[in-house]
């Protein structure tokens, strides 16, 4: 990349804070004719084009997008890269779905060449959908994580991933041991964590597939490497919850299993949390742990409806997750469309600016990365997307009737998908053009 700054002119919108905390109006910044200035992979200025343009050196390259909205790159706080090829698998709920479809599919990632090929496809799909950062499950095979990080490093993406730890209640071909999972995770942390924009997540699949010994070693890794992440599943499905109670009868409940092994904290992300009680929400908030809200997955597997107002009441950090392959889309716009309906079914409203927050700054906060990504404030990584108001004839026609940025945003989230993403930038470089 040249050291010369680049500037991008279009409508620009980003979140400044959680609407649930500061109210809707104070939660965002919008420039109808805005300018985003990028230097050395970082944002150096944002503002009204009329004010910023005269301040720029004359040789700055200004790219002017018509009928377009620049927002921060989307942040997917829960997704499985080895499940790319099994998205849309029919007929089962969580536990049968895992046995019938997921485990056989993940088995293929023992082959590094297969993992490399899917990693390329997976990352391309993220970028096509405007997702610039994701918290990613690998398979049990360390090679799967190498393949993913190699591709992310090639494109200089900010990515978080980890090898699954799973030493019981899964087929022999897909299990490790407490000791091998510890050693392999440690080697991956040493190899990848902090390299460029890559971060490691210690990734026990979920309580039922780990022995107490393995969960204890996961906790030990977090103690040894305090700035790595913890990524797992929590309270997704009622049968799963009953199973956890049977496997860990001495614990108060599902979250308490993870708590006992010291897996809660600022960099811990728990996918789903569909069936949490108030005490569990309280404990998540106390420890700074986050939940990934995965509406397309929760609907597809019939898991239940995530109670976002309950999480807000308790001030639990919440990000948005696609949970591909139980989730049915890589698109966070599409995911927000379903999130809105999940709230409708509970008699609640999802404000469009709250949706924007969930897909960007809320995700960054869930990942403790708000100093780097999630908004377009100067100093942050230049990870952003250009959304096209004319992506489809229907979107174009519908947006001609829009009277406000709030309405435009809601329509983008209701009708939008990968076609809406005209261009994706990571660290100031264009990494996808539609
Ligand atoms: N719980 C344990 N493993 C999985 C998985 O792969 N997907 C989902 N949705 N839930 C899980
Ligand atoms: Zn998942």
Q: Does the beta carbon of 86 sit less than 6 angstroms from any atom of ligand 1? A: no
For the CA of 323, the closest atom of ligand 1 is 9
> Do the Cβ atoms of 350 and 340 come closer than 8 Å?
yes
Name the DSSP class of 100. I
Instruction: Report CA(137)–ligand 1 centroid distance (Å).
Output: 10
Q: Whose CA is nearest to atom 11 of ligand 1?
A: 233
Which pLDDT score, from 0 to 100, does residue 5 have? 80
Closest ligand to the CA of 300 = 1
Atom of ligand 1 nearest to the CA of 301: 9
Q: Buried (b) or exposed (e) across 247-277, using 16+ Cβ within 10 A?
A: bbeebebbbbbbbbbbbbeebbbbbbbbbbe
Answer whether residue 1 shows pLDDT above 80: no
CB of 6 closer than 6 angstroms to any ligand 1 atom: no
Q: What per-residue confidence (pLDDT) applies to 4?
A: 74
Q: Convert the pLDDT of each residue in 349-390 to its tens digit.
A: 999 999 999 999 999 999 999 999 999 999 999 999 999 999
CA distance 209 to 352: 37
pLDDT tens sequence across 10-42? 999 999 999 999 999 999 999 999 999 999 999
What domains appear along the chain, each with residue ranges and CATH number? Answer: 6-72+376-433 (2.30.40.10), 74-330 (3.20.20.140)
Cα 41 to ligand 2 centroid, rounded to whole Å: 31
80 lines ligand 1 (CB under 6 A): yes
- Give the predicted TM-score (pTM) of the model: 0.98
Q: What is the pLDDT of residues 171-226, one digit of tens each?
A: 999 999 999 999 999 999 999 999 999 999 999 999 999 999 999 999 999 999 99
CA-based nearest residue to 80, from 162, 183, 169, 17? 162
Q: What is the pLDDT of residues 268-283, one digit of tens each?
A: 999 999 999 999 999 9
Question: Ligand 1 center to residue 233 CA distance, Å?
Answer: 7
């Amino acid at each position: 990349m040249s050291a010369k700054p680049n500037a991008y002119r279009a409508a620009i919108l980003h979140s400044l804070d959680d609407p649930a905390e500061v109210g809707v109006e104070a939660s965002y910044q919008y420039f109808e004719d805005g300018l985003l200035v990028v230097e050395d992979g970082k944002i150096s200025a944002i503002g009204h084009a009329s004010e910023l343009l005269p301040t720029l050196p004359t040789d700055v390259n200004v790219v002017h997008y018509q009928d377009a909205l620049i927002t921060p790159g989307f942040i997917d706080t829960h997704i499985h890269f080895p499940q790319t090829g099994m998205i849309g698998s029919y007929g089962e709920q969580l536990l049968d779905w895992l046995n019938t479809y997921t485990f056989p599919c993940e088995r293929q990632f023992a082959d590094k060449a297969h993992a490399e090929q899917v990693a390329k496809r997976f990352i391309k799909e993220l970028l096509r959908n405007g997702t610039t950062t994701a918290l990613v499950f690998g398979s049990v095979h360390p090679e799967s994580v190498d393949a993913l990080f190699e591709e992310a490093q090639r494109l200089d993406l900010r990515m978080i991933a980890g090898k699954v730890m799973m030493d019981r209640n899964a087929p022999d071909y897909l299990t490790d041991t407490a000791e091998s999972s510890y050693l392999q995770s440690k080697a991956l942390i040493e190899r990848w964590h902090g390299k460029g924009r890559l971060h490691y997540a210690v990734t026990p699949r979920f309580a039922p597939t780990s022995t107490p010994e393995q969960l204890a070693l996961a906790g030990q890794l977090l103690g040894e490497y305090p700035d790595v992440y913890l990524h797992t599943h929590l309270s997704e499905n009622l049968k799963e919850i009953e199973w956890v109670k049977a496997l860990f009868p001495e614990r108060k409940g599902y979250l308490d299993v993870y708590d006992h092994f010291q897996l809660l904290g600022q960099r811990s992300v728990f996918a789903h949390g569909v069936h949490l009680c108030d005490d569990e929400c309280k404990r998540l908030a106390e420890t700074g742990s986050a939940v990934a809200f995965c509406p397309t997955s929760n609907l597809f597997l019939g898991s239940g409806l995530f109670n976002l107002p309950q999480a807000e009441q308790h001030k639990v950090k919440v990000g948005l997750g696609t949970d591909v392959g139980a989730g049915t889309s890589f698109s966070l716009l599409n995911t927000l469309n379903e999130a809105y309906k999940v709230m409708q079914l509970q008699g609640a409203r999802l404000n469009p600016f709250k949706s924007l927050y969930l897909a960007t700054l809320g995700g960054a906060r869930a990942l403790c990365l708000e100093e780097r990504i999630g908004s377009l404030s100067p100093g942050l990584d230049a990870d952003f997307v250009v959304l096209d108001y004319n992506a489809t004839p229907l979107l174009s026609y519908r947006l001609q009737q829009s009277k406000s940025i709030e309405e435009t945003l809601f329509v983008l989230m209701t009708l939008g998908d990968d076609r809406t993403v005209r261009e994706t930038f990571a660290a100031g470089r264009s990494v996808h053009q539609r």
